[in-house]
C-alpha cells in the first residue's frame, strides 16, 4: 500500500500492517454505508422529517465515542492477550444483531428518543464493534518499531468512508431495495468480523507489552482537541439540518455535507497534510461571509443550485481549519494516540448532542448554524490570529456574543411567533393593512398557509388551494350528498374552507406544533361549515387504520418543498389510499415543488396501478392570496376524470422508475 517501511527485525510483521489497513478500510466503509441505510429505513416511521438524519448522526457519534473509549481503556489497562480475548468476545456478541433490520412500527413520544432506541436495538452492537476498529488497530501498530504510519491509517479510514458515502447514492440506493441493502451489509459485516479476528490475533501475538504513556502526554491539549472537533461536528450537522429543511429528507442532501466533513479529515491527516494556516487567515472570513449572506438571503437569490455548493464549500473550509489544527497538535503515535482519538470523538459527540438534542428544545429557529460559525471565529482568533491573551479574548468574546444576540433576536414587528420541534421550524407573520391584511404560516422557507384577517374574507381558499387549483375544482364542485374527506397534512387548515354543512373532514398531521398553530392562530378549522377533526401521527400509518371504503376523497398535501415524506409516494401507499376510497372516489396529490418533478412519479404510479390521472396547474393571483399550484387527480376509471380534463396539462415526458416501499430515488426527479 506504499505505507510500510520494514527493517531487519520487523520483516515478518510486514504483512500484518497490510492486513490491518485492509480491515480498517473495510470497517470504515461498512461504518458509513450503514448510516444512510438505517436512516432511510427509519424515515417512513417518522414522517420523512429531516430531523431523522440528525438524530441518526447523534446516535452514531455517541456510539463512535463509546467505541473510542473502549479502545482507549483496553489498550491502556489490559495486556495484549487480554485485549485480544476481550475484543474477540465483543465481535462475537455483535453477530447476534444479524441480519440487520429496522422495526416496522413507530414508537410514541419523543421522536429523537424513539430513533435512538430503534437504532440501539438494531445496529447498536455491530456499529460499536466497527467503531473500535480504527483506533484499536492503530494503537496496536503504534507499538511496532517498523509501523510508523498510524495517522495515515486514520486518513485511509476516512477515505474509505468517503468512498462508501459516494457509492451509496450512485450505485447502492438506485439498484438495491432497502431490505437487500441490509442483507448485503450483514454479509459484509460477517466477513469483516473474520478479518478483524485474524488481525487481532496476529497483531497482538507479536506486540510487546504496552508502554506507559509519557508524562503529561494525555493532558497536552485535550480541551482544545475537544473544542476543534465539536466545532466541526456542529457545523457539519447544522448545515445538514439547514439544507434538509429546504428540499427533502433524502440521503443526497445528507451525504454532501458529510463528504466535505470527511474530505477535510483525509487531507489534514494524510502524510504531512494539506492544511496551511496562512491560507486560512483569508479563507475563513470568506467562509463566514458566505454562510451569513446565504442565511440572510434565505434562498431568495440563486436557489438550491447556490445553496448546496456555497454551504458545503464554506463547511469544507471551516472543517479544514478545525481538523488541520487537530492534525498539527496530534501527539506522537506512541504517546497517546488512543487518548487523542477519544478526545476527537468526544468533541464530535458533543456537537451531535448540541444539534440533535439541545438546539431543537432550546431555540425556536436554526441558531445552531450561526452558533457554530461563532465558535469557529473564536477558535480562529486563537489559532490563526494569535489572540492568546485571556483579557483580549474575553473582550472580543463579549463583543461577538452581544452582536450575535442582537442579530439573532431582532425581528420586524409583523412576526407574531416562532416555534421549533423535531419536524422543523414554524413562524407566523402578519403583513398588509385594511382589507388586504393577511396572516401567513411558514415552515422553514415554505409558505404553508395564508389567511385574510378581515372577517369577510377569512373563508377564502388561498395559497395552493384556490378555486382554480386542482383541489379547488374537485372539492369546490357542486354536490348533493354529504362527503367524507381524508386530508394528509394540515398546514393552517385552509382546505376546511371547502367543507359544507353535512360534510366531514379528517386531517392527519404528524407535527404537534402545526396542530396547535392551526387551532390557535388561524380560523379555517373553526369557521368551516363542515365537521372537522385532526388525528395526530404519520398520515400513512394513521390513514391505514381507517376502515376500507370510508372516504369520498383522499388528499395528500405533504410534498411542498421543505421535506418530502417519500413513504407517502410509493406503490404500496397509493394502493392503501385507494382501498380507503368509496366507489367513484378520487385521490388528490399536491405536487407543488421547486426542485422535484413529482408529477412524473405520480404518473408512473398511476400506470403501475392501472389508474387514470390528470395533472392540473394553476397560476398565482395576489388579490386572492394564491400561489403557483400543481395537483394530480387520480381515479379508478377514466370516466371519473371527464369533468377535469378541460383543465389538465400535458402529461410529463420524463420516464421514471416506480417507487415502492423498498426502492426510491429522488435523483431521477431532479428538475
CA separation for the pair 552, 573 (Å, rounded)? 17
H/E stretch holding 152: helix 150-167
DSSP letter at 621 equals: B
Can you list the alpha helix ranges (DSSP code H) found in 582-669?
598-609
Longest alpha-carbon distance in the chain:
95
Which residue has 395576489 as its cell numbers? 622
Backbone angles phi, psi at 218, to 5 degrees: -80, 0
pLDDT at site 395: 66
Backbone angles phi, psi at 336, to 5 degrees: 125, 30
The bridge status of strand 504-509 relative to strand 531-536 is parallel
pLDDT at site 471: 96
CA separation for the pair 464, 618 (Å, rounded)? 8
Contact yes or no for 582/549 (Cβ under 8 A): yes
Contact partners, residue 137, CB within 8 Å, separation at least 6: 20, 23, 24, 153, 199, 203
* 524-553 pLDDT per residue, tens: 999 999 999 999 988 888 999 999 999 999
Which residue has 402578519 as its cell numbers? 430
pLDDT at site 217: 44
CA separation for the pair 503, 505 (Å, rounded)? 7
Contact yes or no for 126/97 (Cβ under 8 A): yes
Contact yes or no for 582/525 (Cβ under 8 A): no
pLDDT at site 534: 96
pLDDT at site 567: 83
> b/e per residue, 30-66, with b = 16+ CB within 10 A?
bbbbbbbbbbbbbbbbbbbbbbbbbbbbbbbbbbbbb
pLDDT at site 389: 65
Question: DSSP labels for 259-284?
Answer: HHHHHHHHHHHSTT-S--HHHHHHHH
Helix, strand, coil shares, percent, the chain, to 5: 60, 10, 30
Grid cell locating 373: 460559525
Contact yes or no for 420/365 (Cβ under 8 A): yes
- The SS3 call for residue 553 is strand
Of 233, 211, 253, the residue nearest 79 (C-alpha): 211
CA separation for the pair 409, 287 (Å, rounded)? 23
Contact yes or no for 287/318 (Cβ under 8 A): yes
Name all domains of the chain by residue range, CATH numbers in brackets: 12-208+218-409 (1.20.1250.20), 459-669 (3.40.50.150)
H/E stretch holding 73: helix 51-77
The rounded Cα 261 to chain-centroid distance in angstroms is 14
pLDDT at site 412: 46
Average pLDDT taken over every residue of the chain? 82
pLDDT at site 295: 77
Which residue has 463583543 as its cell numbers? 399
H/E stretch holding 438: strand 438-443
Q: What pTM does this model have? A: 0.79
Strand ranges inside 572-647, DSSP E: 581-590, 612-618, 629-635
pLDDT at site 241: 80
pLDDT at site 392: 65
CA separation for the pair 549, 546 (Å, rounded)? 9
pLDDT at site 215: 42
* Omega before 99 within 30 of 0, i.e. cis: yes
pLDDT at site 325: 93
For residue 220, count other CB atoms closer than 10 A to its CB: 17
CA separation for the pair 250, 227 (Å, rounded)? 30
CA separation for the pair 188, 167 (Å, rounded)? 15
- The SS3 call for residue 551 is strand
* 250-305 pLDDT per residue, tens: 555 677 888 899 899 888 887 677 889 889 999 999 998 888 877 776 655 455 66
Total residue count of the chain as it appears in this document: 671
Mean pLDDT by runs of 10 across the 671 residues of the chain is: 35 57 87 85 70 80 90 83 83 89 60 86 91 82 58 81 82 83 92 82 56 46 90 92 63 76 88 83 90 70 70 94 91 76 91 86 81 88 77 65 53 63 82 89 84 92 95 91 94 95 94 92 94 91 93 87 73 95 95 84 94 95 91 94 90 83 77 66
Amino acid at each position: 500500500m506504499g505505507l510500510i517501511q520494514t527493517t531487519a527485525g520487523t520483516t515478518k510483521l510486514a504483512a500484518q500492517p497490510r492486513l490491518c489497513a485492509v480491515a480498517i478500510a473495510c470497517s470504515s466503509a461498512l461504518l458509513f454505508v450503514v448510516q444512510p441505510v438505517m436512516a432511510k429505513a427509519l424515515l417512513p416511521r417518522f414522517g420523512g422529517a429531516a430531523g431523522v438524519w440528525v438524530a441518526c448522526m447523534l446516535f452514531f457519534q455517541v456510539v463512535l465515542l463509546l467505541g473510542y473509549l473502549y479502545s482507549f481503556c483496553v489498550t491502556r489497562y489490559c495486556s495484549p492477550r487480554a485485549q485480544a480475548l476481550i475484543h474477540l468476545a465483543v465481535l462475537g456478541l455483535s453477530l447476534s444483531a444479524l441480519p440487520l433490520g429496522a422495526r416496522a412500527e413507530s414508537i410514541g413520544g419523543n421522536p429523537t428518543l424513539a430513533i435512538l432506541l430503534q437504532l440501539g436495538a438494531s445496529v447498536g452492537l455491530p456499529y460499536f464493534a466497527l467503531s473500535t476498529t480504527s483506533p484499536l488497530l492503530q494503537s496496536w501498530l503504534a507499538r511496532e518499531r517498523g509501523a510508523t504510519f498510524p495517522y495515515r491509517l486514520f486518513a485511509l479510514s476516512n477515505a474509505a468512508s468517503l468512498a462508501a458515502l459516494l457509492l451509496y447514492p450512485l450505485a447502492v440506493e438506485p439498484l438495491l431495495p432497502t431490505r437487500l441493502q441490509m442483507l448485503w451489509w450483514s454479509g459484509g459485516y460477517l466477513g469483516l468480523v473474520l478479518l478483524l479476528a485474524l488481525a487481532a490475533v496476529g497483531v497482538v501475538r507479536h506486540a510487546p507489552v504496552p508502554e506507559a504513556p509519557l508524562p503529561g502526554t494525555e493532558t497536552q491539549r485535550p480541551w482544545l482537541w475537544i473544542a476543534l472537533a465539536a466545532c466541526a461536528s456542529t457545523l457539519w450537522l447544522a448545515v445538514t439540518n439547514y439544507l434538509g429543511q429546504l428540499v427533502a429528507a433524502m440521503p443526497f442532501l445528507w451525504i454532501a455535507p458529510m463528504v466535505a466533513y470527511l474530505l477535510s479529515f483525509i487531507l489534514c491527516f494524510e502524510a504531512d497534510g494539506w492544511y496551511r494556516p496562512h491560507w486560512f487567515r483569508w479563507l475563513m472570513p470568506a467562509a463566514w461571509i458566505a454562510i451569513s449572506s446565504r442565511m440572510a438571503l434565505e434562498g431568495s437569490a440563486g436557489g438550491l443550485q447556490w445553496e448546496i455548493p456555497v454551504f458545503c464549500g464554506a463547511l469544507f473550509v471551516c472543517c479544514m481549519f478545525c481538523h488541520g489544527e487537530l492534525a498539527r497538535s496530534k501527539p506522537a503515535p506512541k504517546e497517546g494516540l488512543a487518548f487523542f482519538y477519544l478526545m476527537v470523538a468526544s468533541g464530535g459527540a458533543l456537537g451531535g448532542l448540541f444539534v440533535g438534542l439541545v438546539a431543537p428544545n432550546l431555540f425556536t429557529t436554526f441558531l445552531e448554524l450561526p452558533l457554530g460559525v461563532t465558535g469557529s471565529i473564536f477558535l480562529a482568533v486563537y489559532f490563526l490570529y494569535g489572540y492568546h491573551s485571556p483579557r483580549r479574548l474575553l473582550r472580543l468574546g463579549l463583543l461577538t456574543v452581544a452582536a450575535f444576540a442582537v442579530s439573532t433576536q431582532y425581528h420586524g414587528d409583523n412576526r407574531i411567533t416562532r416555534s421549533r420541534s423535531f419536524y422543523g421550524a414554524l413562524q407566523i407573520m402578519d403583513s398588509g393593512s385594511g382589507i388586504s391584511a393577511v396572516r401567513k404560516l411558514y415552515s422553514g422557507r415554505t409558505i404553508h398557509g395564508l389567511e385574510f384577517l378581515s372577517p369577510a374574507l377569512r373563508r377564502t381558499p388561498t395559497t395552493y388551494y384556490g378555486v382554480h387549483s386542482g383541489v379547488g375544482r374537485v372539492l369546490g364542485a357542486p354536490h348533493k350528498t354529504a362527503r367524507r374527506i381524508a386530508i394528509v397534512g394540515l398546514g393552517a387548515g385552509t382546505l376546511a374552507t371547502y367543507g359544507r354543512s353535512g360534510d366531514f373532514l379528517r386531517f392527519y398531521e404528524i407535527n404537534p406544533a402545526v396542530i396547535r398553530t392551526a387551532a390557535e392562530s388561524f380560523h379555517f378549522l373553526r369557521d368551516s361549515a363542515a365537521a372537522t377533526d385532526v388525528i395526530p401521527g404519520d398520515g400513512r400509518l394513521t390513514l391505514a387504520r381507517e376502515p376500507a371504503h370510508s372516504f369520498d376523497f383522499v388528499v395528500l398535501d405533504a410534498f411542498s418543498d421543505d421535506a418530502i415524506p417519500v413513504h407517502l409516494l410509493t406503490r404500496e401507499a397509493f394502493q392503501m389510499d385507494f382501498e380507503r376510497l368509496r366507489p367513484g372516489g378520487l385521490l388528490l396529490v399536491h405536487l407543488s415543488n421547486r426542485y422535484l418533478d413529482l408529477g412524473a412519479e405520480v404518473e408512473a404510479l398511476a400506470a403501475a396501478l392501472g389508474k387514470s390521472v390528470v395533472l392540473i396547474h394553476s397560476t398565482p393571483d395576489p388579490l386572492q392570496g394564491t400561489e403557483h399550484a400543481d395537483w394530480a387527480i387520480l381515479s379508478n376509471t377514466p370516466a371519473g376524470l371527464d369533468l377535469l380534463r378541460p383543465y389538465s396539462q400535458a402529461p410529463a415526458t420524463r420516464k421514471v422508475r416506480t417507487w415502492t416501499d423498498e426502492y426510491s430515488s429522488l435523483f431521477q426527479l431532479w428538475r
